[in-house]
Amino acid sequence: MSAQGILITAFAGAGLSYALGLTSARLREVFAIVVSVLLVCLIAITHGQGAEHVYYPDFLGLDLVLRMDALAWFFAITVSMVGCLSVIFSLHYVRGKEKENFYYFALLLVNAAMLGIVLSGDLLSFFIFWEIMSWAAFLLISYKRGRALDAGLKYVIMSILGSCAMLLALLYLYANYNTLVISDLAQQIRSAAGGFPLWVMLAFALGFGIKCALIPLHTWLPDAHSEAPSPFSAVLSGILIKMGIYGFILVMYGVVGLKLLLEVGAPWLHFHTVLCWLGAITILIPTFIALLQDDAKRLLAWSSIGQIGYIMLAIGVATSLGLAGALFHTLNHAVFKALLFLAVGAVEYKTGGVRDLNRLGGLIRRMPVTFACALIGGLGLIGVPLTSGFVSKWLIYKTLITEGHPFLALAALVGTWGAILYVYKLLHNMFLGQLPEKYANLEAAPFSMQLPLMICGFIIVLFGILPGIPLSVIGGIVGTLGFEPVTATLTGFGPQIGPLNTLNLCAAFAGVLLVIVAFRGIAARPKPVSQDDSYAAGAAAPAGKYHHTVRFYDPLERMTGGYLRDWVDQFYLSAAGKAKGVFNGVRRIYTGDVRTYVMYIVALLTFLIFAHTAGWL
Distance CA(530)–CA(336), nearest Å, equals 35
Q: Which residues of the chain have pLDDT under 50?
A: none
Distance CA(594)–CA(350), nearest Å, equals 60
Note whether 492 and 602 are same-domain residues: no
Note whether 332 and 415 are same-domain residues: yes
Pairing of strands 265-266, 492-493: unpaired
Note whether 577 and 508 are same-domain residues: no
Note whether 455 and 309 are same-domain residues: yes
The total of structural domains in the chain comes to 2
Rounded (10°) angle between helices 368-382 and 320-350:
160
pLDDT at residue 245, as a whole number = 93
Note whether 327 and 461 are same-domain residues: yes
Choose the final residue of a domain: 452, 486, 519: 519
pLDDT at residue 600, as a whole number = 79
Distance CA(550)–CA(358), nearest Å, equals 6
pLDDT at residue 262, as a whole number = 77
Note whether 482 and 601 are same-domain residues: no
Count CB neighbours of 585 within 10 A.
9
Q: Which of 364, 337, 342 is nearest to 430 (CA)?
A: 364
pLDDT at residue 544, as a whole number = 56
Domain membership of residue 310 (yes or no) is yes
pLDDT at residue 545, as a whole number = 56
Say which DSSP state 236 is in.
Answer: I
Distance CA(113)–CA(7), nearest Å, equals 8
| Torsional class of 29: left (φ above 0), alpha (ψ -120 to 50), beta (otherwise) | alpha
Note whether 332 and 474 are same-domain residues: yes
Domain membership of residue 221 (yes or no) is no
Q: By residue range, what is the domain housing residue 588?
A: 570-613
Note whether 584 and 474 are same-domain residues: no
Tens of pLDDT, residues 176-230: 888 888 888 888 887 776 678 888 888 999 999 999 888 888 888 888 888 888 8
Beta strands in 44-113 (DSSP E): 51-59, 62-68
pLDDT at residue 39, as a whole number = 94
